[in-house]
Structure 1
Amino acid sequence: MKRILIILSVLSFITAGSLSAHALWIETFGPAKKGEKQAVKVFWGEFGDNQHDAADKWFSDMSDFKLFITSPDGKKIQLATTAGTDHHLAEFTPEEDGVYLLTVSHEPKDLAGTTRLQYNSVATVNIGKSGKGNQPGFNEGQLKIWADASKLYKVNKPLSLDVLLKGEQAEKVHVEIFSPSGWKRDLRSDSKGNVVFSPIWAGRYQAEAAVFSEEAGEHNGKPYKAVRRVGTYTFDVAR
């Protein structure tokens, strides 16, 4: 009996560990123009390793996520998605200048061992030069990474990111920065919840924050002892 319990404990650890690097993220495709249809893709896997899990093999009920778009005037609606080979696809047509916010916040029904999981993802689409809609409050995720989405991020220029946990600036949060070249940098948010780095290469980046906390409760009839929240922000850097 003891051997069976040990095996189950090891399997639970492996399950939790295999998910620790996985995350959900959103990608948008520019340049975007008002009145023209824009594509949005949602992935599950490991951005830094260029791993995109097949859409029909996502963990638990991760494929049941809900994708929302918030327009510059603050109107939030859910976008319909369709499954592709390694992603889920959505489309929308921007009708005004400003910052459009794409967000997902999803808790899978299954636990990772005794840990409850939550995934929060964000990406943006900029139309014109207006900063309208560029507000962190429009993202309702519990753990989120925020940057000034109205700015153009450039190579070798400092890029500032804010980490917010339940609406408050969060310090000492581990943030990983993944570059298009495979380069990764590990950072910790300061007392104001801020991290700064200078991108070296042009292309698509991802910032991923993770917070693990001891919180006991019950999720879908199963007890848990901790909660792991993950937040991702995917963005492009120009030369």
Structure 2
Amino acid sequence: MLILGLDFETTGLDATENRVIEIGAVVWDTDRRRPVQLFSELIKPEPHIQLPPEITEVTGITQEDIDRFGEDGVAAFSRLQDLVSQCDYVVAHNVSFDRSFYENELMRCGFVADPSKPWIDTLYDLPFSNRVSSRKLTHVAADYGVFNPYSHRALFDVITMLQLLSQFDFDEVLVRQKSPNVEVVSHVTYDEREEAKKMGFRWDAGRRIWVKSMKACDANPGVFPFDISVHELN
């Protein structure tokens, strides 16, 4: 099976306000566990959009890089759409981020995303062991012996993600991909809060609850030493 690993570097976190500055995409053969086609482009947004210094600090990409090597977004996203059409799944680490930028950039280019194309999210769809303390890509990949030499450069992040994916049975990943994403609320007292923290729950100060996002197939009440409630995410 062919899948497309995808990652974007952007000018910020809001897909409606910020822009993609780098595309990294890899057509990956799940049977051979090897890349088939690599695609990497710096993207030059409109002239009035300048690269924030904090993005340069994170990615190492400079405004000079964009000005000198950045490609036209329409041409780049047209090529990306062609790659997406040839693959059975799109794969990203934190799909909600990359998919929102993908769809917004396509609209700006006059294209339309295929709503029927399924996405795999390596943040949730991989059956990580309990020893994983962080699901940040660089950290969880290192836990499985995969090291990223250039974190926050799109192509390197994609290759790291796909090498991580290849540590698992792909059929099991597809089963998990079909399981809904849910929010689990832990019903703990103040004195019990450390138990929730140890199991990956975070404190939502606005709602004053301990919550954790996960797959429905993992939200088994018997796994937790406290009462929980489960709510499906849209």
Per the normalisation by structure 1, the TM-score is 0.28
Larger-gyration structure (1/2): 2
* Structure (1/2) with the larger strand percentage: 1
* Structure (1/2) with the larger helix percentage: 2
Per the normalisation by structure 2, the TM-score is 0.28
